[in-house]
Amino acid sequence: MEKIGSEAAIEGEGNKEFGKNVHAVLEFLRHATPGKTPEGMSADFLTEGGQEMARGMGKARVQEEKIAGYSSPAKRAQETGDLYLDNTDESVEVVNRTIAETKAKYPAQKEGNIFRMKTKQELAPTVGFAKIMPLAKEFAKTQKAAGSKADDLTLIIQYYLDNPEKCRELGVDLPYDAASQIAHRVATELNMTERFREDTDVRLINVTHGPKLEPFLKEVVGFGRLEEIGGAMKEGENLQFVVDIDGNGSKNVTLIFRGRNYELTEEQTRLITEMSDYYKAYCLPKERYAGMKDEKLYAVFEQACLDYSNEDKGIDVANRNRRNFMFILDELKKRKKTYKDVGLSTEAADAYYQIAATYKIGSGEELWS
């Protein structure tokens, strides 16, 4: 199986150099048409029309020599990517050939996954979006009554973009958090291209959801209303970063979206990197703690209490320890766990009471009174 990225760097061809004469297309697309739940949200499977749409992507979009696929863990996204890969021209070398090969190389592959996609959490659906849908639908209805020509999806996602505080209140991923998740994947792959062997010609597809790409575009391209860019992204629609590195290692990146080309500036590249760093520092730990079982979360909170005041390794370590402490505390609060549930050791309890007294974050029998 062909290897790309860090694997290619280890087992590359002959004496070819890294990061020269490279052409790469980094494609980010919304999954194809899914079924619907009774509440009107996306069900986790594709309709027959959605399957045909995904097949068409593979037939129409790929001109590169090789292709590899990444996906949200959601099955509707994985199925989109799987059908996309399966319907590329026979001349295109597909990196993700079978699920067995994928699992052998990528131990993090989700157990029981029937598709070949390598899953990435940063491509996953926007957490809690269903909670804001009733308000967003009401907003869309009001706007339509007032004469708006925008479609319902555009108005719903516009409400999401305009109301980060309501998202925070309801426990929905903030628009900036969603943007940073996509930015992290973009930054990772942009850096990856510099480790590709000379003469690489590859497409990397990344299958995600709405609303994920819209917040990213708002941060990077900049717009006030979605109508300025033609509305919300439709099922199967994509944006692409076309990366060309010449024989001297000079790199040019162009964002292509709806027929418009945006040559990526140094400022935009810096912004993508900053959002990626934000994701790693703030979003990734929260995702990790949210996925833990109670017993494991109690154990990491014990350690977090002990680590919180660890100033001797420098300000960066101290700040990270404080962030982790608060992230875990928030997750315990969401689960309605009390001080007794956690069962801190005497040493960790003493540390917690000192922290609580200093920062007035709650103490006593209830951890967050």
**Residue predicted with more confidence, 202 or 3:** 202
Residue 213 lies in a domain: yes
The domain boundary residue, chosen from 139, 170, 201: 170
Q: Number of structural domains, the chain?
A: 3
Do 114 and 147 sit in the same domain of this protein? no
**Residue predicted with more confidence, 367 or 206:** 206
> Is residue 322 scored above 60 in pLDDT?
yes
Do 341 and 196 sit in the same domain of this protein? no
Task: Return the CATH number at 12.
Answer: 3.40.50.1240
> Is residue 123 scored above 70 in pLDDT?
yes
- Quick one: average pLDDT of 328-351? 82
What pLDDT does residue 140 have?
Answer: 97
* Beta-carbon contacts of residue 158 (< 8 Å; ≥ 6 apart): 139, 150, 225, 226, 232
> Is residue 19 scored above 50 in pLDDT?
yes
> Is residue 144 scored above 60 in pLDDT?
yes
Do 188 and 269 sit in the same domain of this protein? yes
> Is residue 1 scored above 50 in pLDDT?
no
User: What's the 3-state SS for the chain?
Assistant: CCCCCHHHHHCCCCCCCECCCEEEEEEEEECCCEEECCCCCEEEEECHHHHHHHHHHHHHHCCCCEEEEEECCCHHHHHHHHHHHHCCCCCCEECCCCHHHHHHHCCCCCCCCCCCCEECHHHCCCCCHHHHHHHHHHHHHHHHHCCCCCCHHHHHHHHHHHCHHHHHHHCCCCHHHHHHHHHHHHHHHHHHHCCCECCCEEEEEEEECCCCHHHHHHHHCCCCCHHHHCCCCCCCCEEEEEEEECCCCCEEEEEEECCEEEECCHHHHHHHHHHHHHHHHHHHHHHHHHCCCHHHHHHHHHHHHHHCCCCCCCHHHHHHHHHHHHHHHHHHHHCCCCHHHHCCCHHHHHHHHHHHHHHCCCCCCCCCC
Task: Choose the most confident range, by mean pLDDT, from 33-47, 80-94, 305-319, 343-357.
Answer: 80-94
Mean pLDDT check: name the lowest of 79-83, 212-216, 241-245, 365-369. Answer: 365-369
What pLDDT does residue 97 have?
Answer: 58
> Is residue 302 scored above 60 in pLDDT?
yes
What pLDDT does residue 103 have?
Answer: 45
Residue 224 lies in a domain: yes
Do 235 and 200 sit in the same domain of this protein? yes
Do 92 and 190 sit in the same domain of this protein? yes
> Is residue 194 scored above 90 in pLDDT?
yes
The domain boundary residue, chosen from 276, 304, 332: 276
Residue 368 lies in a domain: no
Mean pLDDT check: name the lowest of 89-98, 136-145, 315-324. Answer: 315-324
- Quick one: average pLDDT of 190-213? 94
Do 145 and 236 sit in the same domain of this protein? no
Do 213 and 339 sit in the same domain of this protein? no
pLDDT digits (tens, 9 = 90+) for 53-77: 999 998 888 888 999 989 998 989 9
What pLDDT does residue 31 have?
Answer: 96
Do 339 and 233 sit in the same domain of this protein? no
Task: Choose the most confident range, by mean pLDDT, from 37-51, 238-252, 273-287.
Answer: 238-252
Band (359; pLDDT cuts 50, 70, 90): low
Band (16; pLDDT cuts 50, 70, 90): confident
- Dihedrals phi, psi of 93, to nearest 5 degrees: -85, 115
Answer yes or no: are the C-beta atoms of 212 and 135 closer than 8 Å.
Answer: no
Residue 161 lies in a domain: yes
pLDDT digits (tens, 9 = 90+) for 250-289: 999 999 999 999 999 999 999 999 999 999 888 888 888 8
Residue 256 lies in a domain: yes
The domain boundary residue, chosen from 137, 154, 170: 170
Do 165 and 188 sit in the same domain of this protein? no
Q: Are strands 238-245 and 22-30 parallel, antiparallel or unpaired?
A: antiparallel
What pLDDT does residue 312 have?
Answer: 60
Which structural domain, as residue segments, surrounds residue 141? Answer: 129-170
Residue 365 lies in a domain: no
> Is residue 13 scored above 70 in pLDDT?
no
Do 308 and 232 sit in the same domain of this protein? no
pLDDT digits (tens, 9 = 90+) for 173-187: 999 999 999 999 999
Residue 287 lies in a domain: no
What pLDDT does residue 363 have?
Answer: 47
What pLDDT does residue 92 have?
Answer: 87
Residue 281 lies in a domain: no
Supply the mean pLDDT for the chain.
84
Do 161 and 181 sit in the same domain of this protein? no
Q: What is the identity of the amino acid at 93? A: E
- Quick one: average pLDDT of 76-97? 87
Q: pTM of the predicted model, to two decimals?
A: 0.81
Answer yes or no: are the C-beta atoms of 99 and 115 closer than 8 Å.
Answer: yes
Do 300 and 221 sit in the same domain of this protein? no
pLDDT digits (tens, 9 = 90+) for 105-115: 444 445 555 67
